[in-house]
Structure formats: structure tokens, C-alpha cells
Chain A
Amino acid sequence: MADVHSLADRVFREESGRIIAALIRVSGSFDRAEEAMQEAFAAALFAWPQRGVPANPAAWVTAVAHRKLIDAARRDGTRREKRDSLASHIAFSVSEIADCEDNEPMNFPDDRLRLIFTCCHPALNPEAQIALTLRTLGGLTTSEIARAFLLPEATLAQRLVRAKRKIQEARIPYEVPGADRLEERLAAVQGVIYLIFNEGYVASSGGDLIREDLCAEAIRLGRVLCELLSRHAENFGLLALMLLQHSRRAARVAGGALVTLEEQDRSLWDRDVIEEGLALLERALASGDPGPYQLQAAIAALHAQAHAPEETDWRQIAALYQTLLERNPSPVVALNHAAAVAMSAGPEEGLARMAGLARSLDGYYLFHAARADLLRRLGRGKEALEAYQRAAALTTNPVECEFLNRRQGPSRSNDRSSGSR
């Protein structure tokens, strides 16, 4: 009995995205699809211990959920016409599934691509996009997502209700955008996945520096995107970037404190994950026109390939940031470029470039942290201390804040390490 529960749990985590995507297409409603899927999982817990686990559990759940949709449509007598078209559609889908019930993997149409584009539609606000993507395509429950974002469950549930209502009432289509809009909308999808990863990588609140569940979930979504749109090299660039950053997770925090890239114990870096990231990046770069995720992944790869900090190819990293800056001009990229220049051409050179960013980045704690670092290396202790204090006052993550406060100490003794992560 217990293993049936854990099997159902695994099927939910791994396959619920695909199941719900198919059910939404058939029913035209997120709510009806969710309800049917929940009922089907409940039925599985009842049926599997008695009749044995089917060869393809996910297809079984989908077929049962389809039947639940028909039942629900029959109960809903006021929508006669819709019910008839729904019933014939479902009859077709069920026979489709019956044919493949013993085949692994499921070979009925994969609707997850429609689902991912609908969840990341620009007419939904970013919080709603993230919540909906995690809830439907990810294997997380509402309470798990709420916990990951440190929100009351009711707040997250409300956010989901509003998003689903907007999709329904504003008629956000359940389809893959046409070729003319695909690139732009795909960039939005990649953006949502990377936001989820970053929320996990540098949690903006809460006591933990890394929320691994969110990173893992973002990586899983990145894999789904690669699988569904394998001709778009940036999808592989994004996955490679997340993997290369995630490979350092064990070394990034020690005793609840942040460890800089330079000070990290590189033997703790996950070599298997690095290898996978490097292979994916190579595959992406082969297509010839590297987008921003590939460029960032290439930078992460250069860090990953340096066995010691002094082996880091900062000249190459500065060149990659330069390319990134030309393609996607932003003050934060310019800051990273300046920091890389400081490492390859000296702190004065870096500091000069940062001076031009003061106006746009004054409210960004990493700007002050990076400046403080260069000032300290130049022996300008008093200015360095002021910059550290400014940085510490601006960060909301207690672990990062603690790190910056510790950094204020060495600035007096003119320590020479860098602050990059």
C-alpha cells in the first residue's frame, strides 16, 4: 500500500504536467482539468492496490481523468451543445489512450508546449506566470510553492485563482504562438524559468541562501523546454547556464554564510552536473548565433573549467561580457563586465568603468559590494568601508547581509580577495 502511494506521488511529480496539459486542451478549462486529475489520482490510490499497478500509470490516470471530464460534462446539463462536442472529443481521446496503454512512454499528443506558453503569457503578471507555471507544469503542490516563496498558502491560492480567471475571461489562447511571435514569446518563457531558478539561487528572503527545490524545479522545466523545442539553441543555453550555476551549490554556502567564487572549495563542485552543462553548451554554441543565455553559460563554463581561481580566463570572460553588453545593454551586465575587466586589466580599470554606472545602480547592493571590493584591493580602506556599509544596508537576504558585514572587517586590513560569486 505504501509503495502504491509513493508510486502515485512519483507519477504526479513527473507526469502531472503532461496529463494536465492534455486535460486542459480537452476541457478548455484549467479548473475542470485540475479537478478531473485530482479525482483520477484519488481513484488510482483506490484501484491500484486491488487490481495491480497498470503498465503505464500516467496513461491510466489520463484515461480515468478523461472519463471524469465526461461525467462532469453530463452532470452539467445546461451546457448541452458544449457537452456533446466535448463527449465526442473525449471518446476519441480515450480510444487514443486505450491503444497506447501498454506502451512506454505515453504516445498521445503532448500539449505541454501550449500550456507553457499560456502560463507565461505576457498578459499575466510575472508573479502569476511563475505561480501558474510551477503549479501546472512543475511537480509542486500549492503548499510547496507557497513555502518556497515564503507566502501564506491562501495568498498563493488566490494568485492562482486570479490568473486562471484572467485566462478564461480575457481569452488568453491555449496554443503555441505562430512563427511571427514564437521567438519573442519563447524569450518570455525562458525568462520565467530563469526567474524561478534565480529565486532559488539567491532567495530574496528567508534564512536560507539557496532554495534547492526551486532550482531543481527550474532545471526540470528547462529540460522540458529543450525536449519540446529542441531546435532552439537558447533553450540549451538556458539549461546549461542553470546547471553550471547549480553545480556550485555545495560550495556556495558554508555554515550558513556566503562563500565567494574565489574562496569556494572547488572539490565540492558537482563534476557530473558541470560535464552535462558543458556538453549542452557545446551543442547550443554549434548553432552559431549565441543568445544571452548561451553567453552567460559560456562565462559560467570558464569558471567551471578553472581548477583554481588564478587559472580563470578573465580576459575571455571580459570579452564575453562585452558581447553580452552589445546584445543586451543593461547596467547589471555592464557592472559584471567592469568586474571582469578589473580582474584582467586591474582594479583601476574596473573602478573607472563602474564610475559611469553609479547613477543607474545606486540602489543595487551588488554594485556597492563590487566597488568596495576594488577599493579595498587598491588600499582605499575608508571608501571601501563606506561602500560595504551601503551594500549591507541594501540587501534583503540575511545570509548575504551577514557576508557583507563580515567583509567590512578585512577591508581595514587590506585583504586582496574578490567578491564575485
Chain B
Amino acid sequence: MMLIYTKEQEGGPGAEEGERIKTAHRALVEEAVRKGVLQAAEPLANTSTATTVRMEDGKALITDGPFSETKEQLAGYYILDCENLDDALCWAARIPTGCKGGEGCVEIRPLPGYALDG
């Protein structure tokens, strides 16, 4: 699995730069499909759309924004087709986060669903 990290900038990349990046992704996806190695690839919406759920004493503590504890590491993911954020929050609260020993949190991010192939 390959995770993409990027510096978020207000308004994103310029139109030309954005197009260049999209084209490069498209070429990569096409090649990965051709070689039969593609499992999934999807862009995430900006962290301004993120909501974090942390379980404390059996209650879901919901906060605006991405998770920010640097000592917590990405441990896995779910992609769920949810009706809205409340629906997503219900699911997120049920995900066990202690996968690597210590309790953590779940960050919810929408998938804007840009089709990479067109």
C-alpha cells in the first residue's frame, strides 16, 4: 500500500499544475491496470473536511479537523459508502483502534470520487 503525503495549499495547485498531476496519475493507473497490479486508488478531500472520532470511556468524542497526535501511526483503513456524516460517525465509533497496542482514533475523510480515467 502506498500513502501519498502532500502540503495542502489554499486553492490547491494552479490549473495547469493540477492538470499535469492528474495526467501523471492517470498514466500510472493505466499502466498499473495493464500490468494487473492495481487494487485501488482514490484521492481524499482536503483535511478541512475531516472529522476525528476518539473513544473515551465508551463515548465517542467528535472533533473538527484531522487527527494531530504525532505519536499515533496509520494502522489501517475502511472505505464505507455512507449516507452522510452521522452515518459515517456511527461506523467510525465501532472501529477498534488499539490495533498496535495503544488506543487511537479514526479520522473520517470524504472521497470526492474524481474518476482518474476520465
Contacts and interface: CB of A to CB of B under 8 A. Distances in A.
A202 B72 CA distance: 38
8 nearest CB pairs, A to B = A122-B62, A125-B64, A173-B84, A123-B51, A169-B49, A170-B49, A171-B84, A172-B85
Interface string B64-85: 1100000000000000000111
A128 B65 CA distance: 12
A125 B48 contact: no
A124 interface: yes
B84 to A, nearest CB: 4
Nearest to A117: B86
Contacts of B28: none
A181 B84 CA distance: 15
A169 B110 CA distance: 7
A181 B50 CA distance: 21
A169 B89 contact: no
B64 A166 contact: yes
B45 interface: yes
Interface residues of A, number: 16
| Most chain A CB atoms below 10 A, which of B49, B83, B108, B110 | B49
A177 B64 contact: no
A172 B48 contact: no
Contacts of A271: none
B63 A122 contact: yes
Contacts of A166: 48-49, 64
- Per DSSP, are chain A's interface residues mostly helix, strand or loop, or mixed? loop
A162 interface: yes
A181 B63 CA distance: 16
B84 A172 contact: yes
A173 B85 contact: yes
A128 B64 CA distance: 10
Contacts of B45: 169-170
A165 interface: yes
A250 B64 CA distance: 38
A226 to B, nearest CB: 25
Given A171-B110, A172-B84, A123 B89 contact: yes
6 contacts: A122-B64, A123-B51, A123-B64, A123-B85, A125-B64, A162-B48
A124 B64 CA distance: 5
Interface string B25-41: 00000000000000000
Given A169-B110, A171-B84, 16 more contacts: A123-B62, A123-B64, A123-B85, A125-B64, A165-B48, A165-B49, A166-B49, A166-B64, A169-B48, A169-B49, A169-B112, A170-B49, A171-B85, A172-B84, A172-B86, A173-B83
A125 B50 CA distance: 11
